[in-house]
Amino acid sequence: MIGRLVSNVAKRLPSVLYRESMMTKPQVVFVLGGPGAGKGTQCAKIVENYNYTHLSAGDLLRAERAREGSEFGQLIASFIKEGKIVPVEITINLLRKAMEETMQKDEQKYRFLIDGFPRNEDNLQGWNNVMDGKADVKFVLFFDCSNEVCIKRCLERGKSSGRTDDNRESLEKRIQTYLQSTRPIIELYEKHGKVRCVDASRSVEEVFADVQRILDKEG
Ligand code: UDP
Ligand code: MG
């Protein structure tokens, strides 16, 4: 009886969802650090050398901002410029969708670098609400860098990035947000022994050598 019920339910479920339940649980590394700490650069190098998919929350938000017909475009644009953190309902849906799409295309792609998330309490709660039990957070890869270096790098990047937030005014706000909202999240993970810290003030190659040591050990 139960067996028949289950198989009937399975038949009624959309095939994608049913398949998903059979898939390996996503393994996630959160990548955090101040603006310009080098998260994106290092993630690109990780992808070249390890079997990870890079999902930048900021990139996903910028794509949603640019998507024609998006109801959130305006809100995202103003939050980014102000260095504020977008309500998690928006971000978590973009992340979830990107993870699902990746795994639907290739079930073996279940390792994710989630870059620039969770940035505050709201982000973390949203992640726990939606993803708890559905993905394993292995650790936080923390790119540690002084505010001065962060600002300098972003201003340099601003010359060619075309980003609306790589200017001095937005950067001051982004640094504030980072110190006030993101650092406490990193400290929270630290208390659980889940932070792998890298000195990110050095050259790309030097930083990546440390990243490799960490990933080779952690898998
Ligand atoms: N952002 C957000 N939620 C996120 C990630 C990014 O609201 O989960 C917004 C926020 O306004 C942030 C901006 O996007 O300042 C740029 O984020 P990104 O990660 O691209 O900047 P980075 O830290 O890499 O310089
Ligand atoms: Mg980035």
User: Which residues on neighbouring strands pair with residue 132, listed in sequence order?
Assistant: 135
- Average pLDDT over the chain, rounded to whole? 93
Give the Cα separation of 40 and 116 in Å (integer): 9
pLDDT in tens, 4-29: 555 555 555 555 545 555 678 999 99
Looking at the predicted structure, is the pLDDT value of residue 3 above 90? no
Parallel, antiparallel or unpaired: strands 27-33 and 53-56:
unpaired
> CB 9: neighbour CB atoms within 10 A?
10
Going from N- to C-terminal start, the domains of the chain cover: 24-214
Give the Cα separation of 216 and 50 in Å (integer): 9
What is the reported pLDDT for 177? 98
CA distances from 146 to 37, 121, 139, 185 (A): 8, 23, 22, 18
Class of the CATH-defined domain 24-214: alpha beta
In the predicted model, what is the mean pLDDT of residues 197-210?
98
CA angle 10, 24, 18 (to 5 degrees): 15
CA angle 195, 196, 199 (to 5 degrees): 125
Give the Cα separation of 112 and 53 in Å (integer): 5
pLDDT in tens, 132-189: 999 999 999 999 999 999 999 999 999 999 999 999 999 999 999 999 999 999 999 9
Give the Cα separation of 39 and 59 in Å (integer): 12
Q: Answer yes or no: is the C-beta of 84 below 6 A from any ligand 1 atom.
A: yes
Report how far ligand 1's centroid is from the alpha carbon of 106 (Å).
27
Give the Cα separation of 143 and 134 in Å (integer): 26
Strands across the sheet containing 136-144: 53-56, 111-115, 27-33, 136-144, 195-199
Give the Cα separation of 168 and 68 in Å (integer): 29
Question: Which ligand is located closest to the Cα atom of residue 154?
Answer: 1
Give the predicted TM-score (pTM) of the model: 0.90
Question: Which ligand is located closest to the Cα atom of residue 43?
Answer: 2
Tokens 């708890």 sit on residue? 132
Q: Answer yes or no: is the C-beta of 158 below 6 A from any ligand 1 atom.
A: no
User: Which residues on neighbouring strands pair with residue 27, listed in sequence order?
Assistant: 111, 136
What is the reported pLDDT for 160? 97
Q: Answer yes or no: is the C-beta of 116 below 6 A from any ligand 1 atom.
A: yes
Looking at the predicted structure, is the pLDDT value of residue 88 above 70? yes
